Structure formats: structure tokens, C-alpha cells
Amino acid sequence: MKMKLACMIMIKLIIFSLAGTGLAGESIKIGTPLALTGPYAGDGVSYFRGIKMAVDEINEAGGLLGRQIEIVKFDTQDFAPERVMQAADTLIRSERVHVLHAGWAGWGQDVRAYGKYNVPTFVFNGSLNSVLVYRSNKKKYSNWFHLTDIEKNFSIDEAFVMKNLPYEFPNRKLAIIATDDSWGTEIAKGLVDNAKDAGWEVVMKEVVPYGTMKWEPLLTKIRRLKPGWIKVEIASAPESNAFLRQFLKSPTQSLLHLGYGAVLEDFLSNSGKEAEGVIASNALAIPEPYPTPEAEAWVNNYIKRFGSSPRTNSLPVYTGVKFWAEAVEKVGKVDDYEAINAYVANNKFKTVEGRMIQFDEDHKIPVTSWPGNTMQVQDGKLVTLFLSAKDRKNPTPYKTNKFHIPPWIKR
């Protein structure tokens, strides 16, 4: 009897011990600090879908290390520093997540918040401010991984892509409008820095806050200047929609480039035919025609799961989850964070497009190895015109896609 009791106690102790080390089947937790409300909520939906798609695929295939993955959400809203700090503390200290997968996560305050811990943290944004914080203490922030390049490196492409469009501009004047956050201001700075070399004269540069919906004062200035190219960089669809509609009331003979705002899912759904001819930039979308059968299958799977095409940046965060899962499998433990971070930092990963990507010395992925797209709205769809090239000043058109002259341009 005593022997039987001792065996039962021993079995319970073993089960309790296994549970404490995560070997008794409890879930692995992924923290998702995403903007689910506020000005960046359109992005938050696409980021979450990419994360969820990766998690669902892993779970459907039997899980990670034999365990199912559970998603724990946190709404980071407008990325206010105190909100980002709260997200890190809540998800890591209270929820005890094993990894963090975010979309756009902030402009430096994010690195400090999540870098207090060594839990692997994958974010979409390669913000210059975040990279500078990372550089200040690479050892401390070794858990931090940017899935894109910094803002300015994307704008290099834009200046030379526009120069190389098969289109005769009425002039080489460029008007720039950008938001007052790191994304907008750095894109604008990159354009200004490269404009002259690409043959552009910057005749207007304005900075506006998010929430700007009345554009007539700036449009009056644009109509007086009559630039050949108007670049508006606002990572939010409502403001981009409003600008387009007010511009079309009395359009100048300008190509209209609405940057990232035009690839957000609710931009096209709200603009409809008015968006025809608008040029857009997407950091890491899958171009059409699809580069690989795997890429086409991924898009079809996304549509099947969510009922719409992946217009924004679901792919990078999906890739981040899969890269992390590979690292966990190789290390053999989900909580050996130092080994997992080292694996991710020192190995390449194959994307569904067939690209081998690797984080550089700043723990970001250069735009030349995972290229951004310059796109145009054609027949209600976003069509890729150019991909980022290693020779940034001589971009190559993407496959057979052709530039369309917008309907407001009179020839």
C-alpha cells in the first residue's frame, strides 16, 4: 500500500514537473501586440491575418514540438510609448508568451520595451529610429528582428522608378506630402535626397498629422505649381481616400503616387473606380504574375481563409512566424531564447516566393534581398510595375505588366 501511494505521488510529481517545463501538452503562446483600433487598425487586421495563417498551418500539421500554438492579443492602438511598454509587460510578464510577432510596432520605444526581455520579437517595421536604438546596444537587444528595411531605403526606388516609367511627364517637378511620423518623414527625406540625382525638382514638401481630411489648402498650392508627380505618404486609408477624391475634383496633369496608403485593404474598397491609375508602394507584397507556384498557393490559401486578397503586409509577419518555428524545432526548446535568437540571426530562410532572406548586422532584412513593389491600380486591382533591384538607380520593369496612363491625364 505504501509502495502504491509512493508511486502515485511520484507520478503526480512527474506530471507537475512536466507541466512546469511545458512538456505536458499546454500551449505555446505567441503574443501579438498589434494596432487593432486607431489610425493604424487597417494594418493591424492584415498583420493579424498573416500571423494567424502561419499559426493555423503549424497547428493543423501537429503543432510545434508536439504542442499547439495559442495567440494572445494586445491592442497597441497608436503606439504611444506607455502603451507599447504596457504591451511588453503584459504579454511577457503576465501572459508569459514565448515569442512576440507584431506588425508596425513603434519608432524606438518598441525596441526599449521588448528589449528589456530576451523573448524573440519579430516586427514588420524597419524604422530608422528603431534601428538606431538597436545599434546602441546590440547585445541587449539581440532578441529584436526587423522584417523589412528602413523607410528611406524604400524611397530610393521611388525616385528612380518614376524616372523610368514609360511616360512623358509635362515637367520634372515633384510635390511631396507626408505624415509627421517616422515612416512619412523618412520617406520624404529619402525622396528629397535622391530627387536631383533622379532628375526631379522638389517644388513642395509639406508635413501633416494623421487625421488630416481637408486637403483644399494644399491642393490649391499644388494646382498653382502643377507638378508632374505628386507623392503622398500616409499609412492610413481614410486620409488617402479623402485626398484622392478632393484631388479629382480639379486634377492637375500629375501622376498621383499615394504610397503605402493605397495598398491598404480599405483604400480600394472605398475608392472604387476613382482609384484607377493611382500608383502605390508596398514594402513586401507578392507580385503578380506570381513568381512561384508556392506563392500562388499561398495567396489562394489566404483568400480561402479570409475572403479577400492579401493587399498589405501579411506575408512578412507570416514569414516571421515560420522562421521562428523553424528555429524552435532546431533548438528543441521553445524557451531557450538565447539559442533561438542566435539561430534566427545567423541562418537564412526560404520564403514562399523562393527567396533566401537573412537578417543583416542591424537585424533587418535589406530591401534588395526581399524587394518592395511599385504598383498601380488597374481595373480595380493592384498590379506590380517594378520590384526593388540591387542596382537601385536602374530598376527593371516586372515581367509583362504595363503602366496605364490615369484617366484624369489629358493627352
Helices (H), 203-292: 216-225, 237-248, 265-271
Residue 305's domain spans which residues?
A: 25-148+295-357
For the stretch 133-145, pLDDT in tens is 999 999 999 999 9
Sheet containing strand 121-123, strands side by side: 69-75, 28-34, 99-101, 121-123, 144-146
289 domain-assigned? no
Total domains, the chain: 2
11 domain-assigned? no
201 domain-assigned? yes
177 domain-assigned? yes
Q: What percent of the chain has pLDDT over 90?
A: 73
CA 293 to chain centre: 23
What residue ranges in 80-237 does DSSP mark as E strands? Answer: 99-101, 121-123, 144-146, 173-179, 201-208, 229-233
What's the rounded Cα separation, in Å, for the pair 27 and 25? 6
pLDDT at 319 over 60: yes
Average pLDDT taken over every residue of the chain: 91
Do 185 and 62 lie in one domain? The reply is no
104 domain-assigned? yes
For the stretch 55-89, pLDDT in tens is 999 999 999 999 999 999 999 998 889 999 999 99
Do 260 and 276 lie in one domain? The reply is yes
Do 208 and 228 lie in one domain? The reply is yes
Query: Given this model, what pLDDT does residue 123 score?
Result: 94
For the stretch 186-239, pLDDT in tens is 999 999 999 999 999 999 999 999 999 999 999 999 999 999 999 999 988 999
User: Given pLDDT bands bounded at 50, 70 and 90, which one contains residue 22?
Assistant: very low
pLDDT at 283 over 80: no
The b/e string for 267-305 (b: 16+ C-beta within 10 A; e otherwise) is bbebbeebbbbbbbbbbbbbbbebbeeebeebbeebeee
288 domain-assigned? no
What average pLDDT does the segment 375-388 reach? 92
Higher pLDDT, 24 or 122: 122
Residue 179's DSSP bridge partners are 208
Do 203 and 258 lie in one domain? The reply is yes
For the record, the C-alpha cell of 100 comes out as: 512576440
Query: Given this model, what pLDDT does residue 9 score?
Result: 44
What average pLDDT does the segment 321-345 reach? 98
77 domain-assigned? yes
397 domain-assigned? no
Query: Given this model, what pLDDT does residue 390 score?
Result: 81
Highest mean pLDDT pick, 77-81, 288-292, 329-333: 329-333
Do 270 and 309 lie in one domain? The reply is no
Do 136 and 180 lie in one domain? The reply is no
CATH code of residue 43: 3.40.50.2300
Lowest mean pLDDT among 95-109, 331-345, 351-365: 95-109
Query: Given this model, what pLDDT does residue 107 score?
Result: 78
Do 344 and 247 lie in one domain? The reply is no
Amino acid at 29: K
User: Given pLDDT bands bounded at 50, 70 and 90, which one contains residue 156?
Assistant: confident
- For residue 369, give the nearest of 386, 351, 342, 345 by alpha carbon: 351
Do 132 and 172 lie in one domain? The reply is no
**pTM, rounded to two decimals:** 0.88
Are residues 383 and 373 in contact, defined by beta-carbon separation less than 8 angstroms? Answer: no
| C-alpha separations of 99 from 31, 63, 117, 124, 147 in Å | 6, 15, 11, 14, 15
pLDDT at 125 over 90: no
User: Given pLDDT bands bounded at 50, 70 and 90, which one contains residue 108?
Assistant: confident
Do 261 and 378 lie in one domain? The reply is yes
Do 78 and 216 lie in one domain? The reply is no
User: Given pLDDT bands bounded at 50, 70 and 90, which one contains residue 384?
Assistant: very high
Do 170 and 257 lie in one domain? The reply is yes
Do 236 and 378 lie in one domain? The reply is yes
